Amino acid sequence: MIYLYLYYNPYKMMLELPNTAENITLIQDFLDETRRRIFEGVEITFTSKANSELQDLVLDFEIEIEDIEEAIENLTTENYYRGIDPSNSADFNVCAFCTKIGKSNVEIYLKYGLEVSGLQILLFSNHLPKYPMAQPFKI
């Protein structure tokens, strides 16, 4: 179970957790819970925004839904970028990652959430980064 301490963030920017053993464990737990849900058959749901972004990736890089799903399943703590933050309505714990996907090995910003009181995995964003993405847990 992932426990999240909620922080008030007036700027609506995702928080970057400092590189500590406790935070790495927190992100690993998030990734493990994601894999557990996928293993148990939970499908990844795309928001309309994420679906639109996927269409751009399909056209520009021949990225498919399966590439996104595979990228999520293969994330590590080194891919961590920002989060774990509550969604706007606090019904999802949300994390962002930087990862490479598809045959072209294109780098994308990937943000998804795990439903707090359910099993849903909701993809919020999957697009080319608009700016360089620091990965604070990367060795």
Residues 38-94 pLDDT 10s:
999 999 999 999 999 999 999 999 999 999 999 999 999 999 999 999 888 889 999
Rounded CA separation 56/52 (Å)? 7
pLDDT band at 4 (very low <50, low <70, confident <90, very high): very low
pLDDT number for residue 89: 80
Segment 3-20 shows an average pLDDT of: 64
Segment 6-28 shows an average pLDDT of: 79
Percent of the chain with pLDDT over 90: 86
Rounded CA separation 22/40 (Å)? 27
Q: Do 122 and 112 meet the contact criterion of CB atoms below 8 Å apart?
A: yes
Rounded CA separation 89/8 (Å)? 13
111: its two tokens: 């943000």
pLDDT number for residue 3: 37
CA distances from 75 to 8, 9, 19, 72, 117 (A): 27, 26, 17, 5, 23
pLDDT number for residue 51: 96
Segment 6-23 shows an average pLDDT of: 73
Single out the residue of 82, 78, 77, 86 nearest to residue 111, CA to CA.
82
